[in-house]
Amino acid sequence: MEMNKKSPVFIGLGKTLFSSSVCVFDPEISAFPKTYLLERYSRKKADGNWPDLILSKLQQELSGREQRICENRDVIKPSEFEEKLNKVIPFYDYLTKKELDKFSVKFNKNIDFLSHHYCHAQVAKYMSPFKKAAILIIDGAGSKGSDFQSEHLDFPLVGSEHSELHEECSLYLLEDGKLTPVWKKWQEFKQSSKFPKHFYSEGLGTCYEKVAEFIFASKRASGKVMGLAPFGKSFNFSSTDELLSSLDWTRAYTGKSKSDWEADSEMEYFQNLAASVQELFEKIFIELVTEIKDSLDGVENLIIAGGCALNCTNNMKLISSEHFSEIYVPPFPGDESIGLGCALHSYFLDNKWSAFDHLDQHGYFGEDLTYTSSDIEEVFSGYDFIKPDCILDYSAELISDSKIIGWFQGSSESGPRALGNRSILSRMDIDGRKDYLNESVKFRESFRPYGSSVTYEKCFDYFDIPENFNNPYMSFAVRVKDKFRELFKEATHIDGTSRMQSVRKGQNEKFYQLISKVGEKTGVYGVLNTSLNTMGEPIVETIEDLRNFLNTSNVDGVVIENYFIKKKQLT
């Protein structure tokens, strides 16, 4: 395709502490933006380094184009981070040598800095299936008050008293593509008097992160905390301050491995603490949603974004509260989408907005990757492979016969959850399948549950969900109906819920057809679905990553394009 060299390409730089990303939105080439997550290329999970690896990869593609660049980090500005980096290493010299200096405001004053929650709101706006909705952004922490600029949309909500505070949560109103800031809540980080290495704030997301750090020695383990919560009994804390003040860090987990954690003498306390923070999270969140509903007359829809939106247990309870007619969560609500939000800001300055209908949505914003037969046979030289007449029939037969397969197709998911392009798939009714996956395939803690992917039409048969319910991104943990518990047992958590994905034909036709063919063979129109990776690794991105996964994980084989590659047998 001949490119118009005068048309701009919109570039977003998410230079975040975790999950750095670059987004390229080129309407001349594609109707959808492309998001490149640094972790997928560096192979370091949640990599928060400066995204030079991606930008070097994209240089030729971007050459000769007008580039409109926006950026964000999180709690500090990217420019502040880069100045600090340059004091430790010759960072600016490195950028100049690599011809990447135009991606730093040190050299390119045309780069626009955007505030953190605003970037999340732009993603929510872009993905919104509603013409009118409240948008709630809530995460660990956003931009500092003193970093806001007068041209920022949120600037009127920033007072002098907020200069050293950080965003905790922000409310926006979306009406026909127009974003209006409604209010913003702030948080202050204060040093603990008992444990000076730790800083606390009143923020709900920050509280959850601190508990994750306490139980799993990682702020990024909030998803594990959510999964552990049903095993414990809550201490019934009334506030985040009360919970945080109770933490005795001499009891915190300090091990290095799965076996260390599972042998920890504080396990019962960890379970109860997880139950406590989840209960408190849900209590405060419902109060927040009630406040939003009461303050916005005539708004029937709610969109939640920011890292806290990944709490699928809480999200389903919000639906059950019936405060809003519909609640929507984007496929990438966390910081992995900050680059996308930055690019969308520039894009919408020149282009009209329209609601993104549920039927047209998808979560596959990764790099366009297609592989020829020659590519596949070269990378998997020495492996046994099969190229059946119909890969869907063959794969459905494998799954029906209790095999575990890796499933690799098209562009990758841009969020943290597998949605049918980078997945490990299995039947859900095989005794011990969850334990086997945890022990021998994913190598993760034994308590952690697995999700399920079900054809949209059958969701209403299997789960207790409201009419017209949509869950294409595993955003809601839904209750499995009693009569299907046995069939869904390996994808059902101890609390009777499953982190389910509803799959429509128009959203991912190949995956939909695969699940349908499994249903024709087994009677259950669903599969156990987990991300194509092992614990501690990012989701597989490329064919080379797929080969490495096959070498290190005990699946029966992997499917890529129309090939089934068998696991090598040790001799």
Same domain assignment for residues 384 and 477: yes
Is the pTM of the predicted complex or chain greater than 0.75?
Answer: yes
For residue 472, tell me if it sits in a domain.
yes
Give the type of residue at 169: C
pLDDT tens, position by position, 445-469: 999 999 999 999 999 999 999 999 9
pLDDT of 165 over the 60 cut = yes
pLDDT of 253 over the 70 cut = yes
Among 315, 335, 355, which residue terminates a domain?
335
Cβ(528)–Cβ(487) below 8 Å? no
Same domain assignment for residues 425 and 551: yes
The CATH number of residue 185's host domain is 3.30.420.40
What's residue 3's pLDDT? Answer: 42
For residue 354, tell me if it sits in a domain.
no
Q: Which domain holds residue 44?
A: 9-113
Report the pLDDT averaged over residues 272-290: 99
Among 81, 113, 145, which residue terminates a domain?
113
Report the pLDDT averaged over residues 533-553: 96
For residue 353, tell me if it sits in a domain.
no
The DSSP code sequence of 25-71 is: E-TTT-SS-EEEEHHHHH--TT--S-SHHHHHHHHHHHTTSEEEEEE
Same domain assignment for residues 291 and 399: no
pLDDT of 49 over the 90 cut = yes
Same domain assignment for residues 75 and 208: no
Report the pLDDT averaged over residues 368-397: 97
What's residue 570's pLDDT? Answer: 52
Report the pLDDT averaged over residues 515-541: 97
- pLDDT band (50, 70, 90) for residue 64: confident
Angle value at C-alpha 411, between 405 and 417, nearest 5 degrees: 60
What's residue 292's pLDDT? Answer: 98
111 phi, psi to nearest 5 deg: -75, 130
pLDDT tens, position by position, 316-348: 999 999 999 999 999 999 999 999 999 999 999
- Count the alpha carbons within 13 Å of 323 in the hemisphere toward its beta carbon: 23
For residue 345, tell me if it sits in a domain.
no
Structure token pair of residue 568: 């090598």
Burial call 321-342: b when 16+ CB within 10 Å, e when fewer: eebbebbbbbbbbbbbbbbbbb
Same domain assignment for residues 434 and 538: yes
What's residue 6's pLDDT? Answer: 61
Same domain assignment for residues 61 and 173: no
Q: What is the SS3 assignment for 296?
A: coil
Report the pLDDT averaged over residues 273-300: 97
What's residue 569's pLDDT? Answer: 65
The CATH number of residue 371's host domain is 3.90.870.20
For residue 3, tell me if it sits in a domain.
no
Of 59-63, 133-137, 326-330, the range with the lowest mean pLDDT is: 59-63
Burial environment of residue 42 by CB neighbours within 10 A (0 to 12, 13 to 18, 19 or more): middle
For residue 4, tell me if it sits in a domain.
no
Q: What is the mean pLDDT of the chain?
A: 96
Same domain assignment for residues 265 and 146: yes
Same domain assignment for residues 175 and 302: yes
For residue 261, tell me if it sits in a domain.
yes
Domain count within the chain: 3
pLDDT of 2 over the 50 cut = no
Report the pLDDT averaged over residues 208-236: 98
Q: Which of 141, 155, 63, 78 is nearest to 112 (CA)?
A: 78
Same domain assignment for residues 127 and 103: no
What's residue 4's pLDDT? Answer: 45
Same domain assignment for residues 189 and 229: yes
What's residue 516's pLDDT? Answer: 99
Percent of the chain with pLDDT over 90: 96
- Count the alpha carbons within 13 Å of 22 in the hemisphere toward its beta carbon: 23
The CATH number of residue 34's host domain is 3.30.420
Report the pLDDT averaged over residues 520-536: 97
The DSSP code sequence of 406-448 is: EEE-SSPPSSSS--SSEEEEE-S-STTHHHHIIIIIS---TT-
pLDDT of 265 over the 90 cut = yes
Same domain assignment for residues 100 and 151: no
pLDDT of 1 over the 50 cut = no
For residue 499, tell me if it sits in a domain.
yes
Give the type of residue at 530: T
Percent of the chain with pLDDT over 70: 98
Same domain assignment for residues 410 and 534: yes
Question: What is the DSSP code (8-state) at residue 540?
Answer: P
Cβ atoms within 10 Å of 258's Cβ, excluding its own: 16
Among 113, 132, 160, which residue terminates a domain?
113
pLDDT of 7 over the 90 cut = no
